[in-house]
Amino acid sequence: MGLTSNKVLWLAIVIAAVLFIGTVWLWPRLARQHWRSVSGRVGLLLATQVALFASVGLAANQAFGFYASWADLFGTETGQGVVVDHSVHGSGGPLQVVSTSEVPGVRATRPERGGQIQKVDIVGRRTHIATPAYVYLPPEYFQPQYRTRTFPTTVVLTGYPGTARSLVDKLNYPSTAQRLARDGRVQPMILVMLRPTVAPPRDTECVDIPGGPQTETFFAKDLPDAVLGHYRGAKRPGGWGIVGDSTGGYCALKLAMHHPRVYAAGAGLSPYYEAPIDPTTGDLFHGDAKLRNRADLFWLLRHEPAPDTSLLVTSSKAGEHNYKSTMDFIQRVQATDRTRISSIILDSGGHNFNTWRREIPPTLQWISGRLSDH
């Protein structure tokens, strides 16, 4: 049974309930001052507490998508995730469709009515980074009258560690985009949904690491090339945007600022503004001061020409730790002459899925209004 399985969650809840009932039932028998009775009380309390914490942890993981598997949780996924796939040079191409499915929450079963989710494997031609992703194709993509049309495309990133599937069935990006398009509030868009963690378990912060994964190049060059080689995405500047939450939000802002001709708009939900260095990232810059500085978005605004791109940032007055830095970032961008800035500031909201679900509909409307399909 997988970590995110409902069976595992319910099994943990049942065990916790049985242990609680057993503790209450057996407590009188263990009330004597004997080492066996004391050991029994300690054992029952400890087992009950562990079962309760496990139940809460499993429920939280299902709600927020922190870990995708037991191996992910215990850190036993040791593969670097950076491979050379020789099929890239053959007939397979850098993007392979693994499976297709309906859009969760949408009743229509035919793709021309309900759209489609495609699970894909992507391998970068330049970076040789390999990663899975989910692609949402709107109903219009399959309709005969749109067969020659290209569609604006938005890359959607999770936080760290995150799971790409959570963007589909927890944050509901595809069903939200479809509902908004049906109501005429956004244009039909292709969504490319994946983790920024393309070299698991390492958190690369979308940096081209000297001697390591070239993550920024993957998102700026390899990913658009792979998608455009397979789908009818917008090919001209102005047709691509990028959205992310937490680590993905930082990546979205940085990629839009570093590569404005690729990403005409970037939205960071609860982002931060410089790459952290911690045990999950390792040494990202290897003493390269220029690389470290360019990863600091405040430094970028102070020392380099303002990029011609549109940015959106979100925070909450109560509940988010990035509120002050977000307001400072807004002021800094406003002082530039080319970069455009918008924001969503909630009165209260934590760093979690519930907050981001409140921000995703207006974010998709914002990014749709800044992308063209030709």
Q: How confident is the model at residue 84 (pLDDT cuts 50, 70, 90)?
A: very low
Q: What is the pLDDT of residue 1?
A: 66
Is 305:349 a contact under the CB 8 Å cutoff? no
Terminal-to-terminal C-alpha distance of the chain:
46
Alpha-helix residue ranges (DSSP H) falling in the chain: 6-26, 35-64, 70-74, 111-114, 164-169, 173-182, 215-217, 223-228, 247-258, 289-294, 297-303, 323-334, 353-368
Is 312:344 a contact under the CB 8 Å cutoff? yes
Instruction: Determine the Cα–Cα distance for residues 4 and 61; give it in Å rounded to an integer.
Output: 7
- Sheet strands side by side (includes 116-123): 95-101, 116-123, 130-137, 190-194, 153-157, 240-245, 265-269, 310-318, 340-348
Task: Indicate the average pLDDT of the chain.
Answer: 89
Q: Is the peptide bond before 161 cis (omega within 30 degrees of 0)?
A: yes
Question: How many of the other CB atoms lie within 10 Å of CB of 35?
Answer: 8
**Overall average pLDDT of the 31-48 stretch:** 80
**Residues near 154 by beta carbon (within 8 Å), at least 6 away in sequence:** 189, 190, 191, 192, 240, 241, 242, 243, 364, 367, 371
Side-chain half-sphere of 61: how many Cα atoms within 13 Å?
A: 21
Q: What is the pLDDT of residue 309?
A: 96
Q: What is the pLDDT of residue 106?
A: 84
The encoded tokens of residue 29 equal 């028998």
The larger pLDDT score, comparing residue 112 to residue 2, is at 112
The sign of the CA dihedral 60, 66, 67, 68 is positive
Percentage of the chain exceeding pLDDT 70: 90
Instruction: Determine the Cα–Cα distance for residues 233 and 244; give it in Å rounded to an integer.
Output: 19
Q: What's the whole-model pTM score? A: 0.79
pLDDT tens, residue by residue, 190-239: 999 999 999 888 999 999 999 999 999 999 999 999 999 999 999 888 99
Instruction: Determine the Cα–Cα distance for residues 278 and 314; give it in Å rounded to an integer.
Output: 24
The strand pair at 310-318 and 265-269 is best described as parallel
Residue 90 has pLDDT above 50, yes or no: no
Q: How confident is the model at residue 26 (pLDDT cuts 50, 70, 90)?
A: confident
Q: What is the pLDDT of residue 276?
A: 92
Instruction: Determine the Cα–Cα distance for residues 236 and 222; give it in Å rounded to an integer.
Output: 16
Residue 36 has pLDDT above 80, yes or no: no
Side-chain half-sphere of 279: how many Cα atoms within 13 Å?
A: 1
Q: How confident is the model at residue 35 (pLDDT cuts 50, 70, 90)?
A: confident
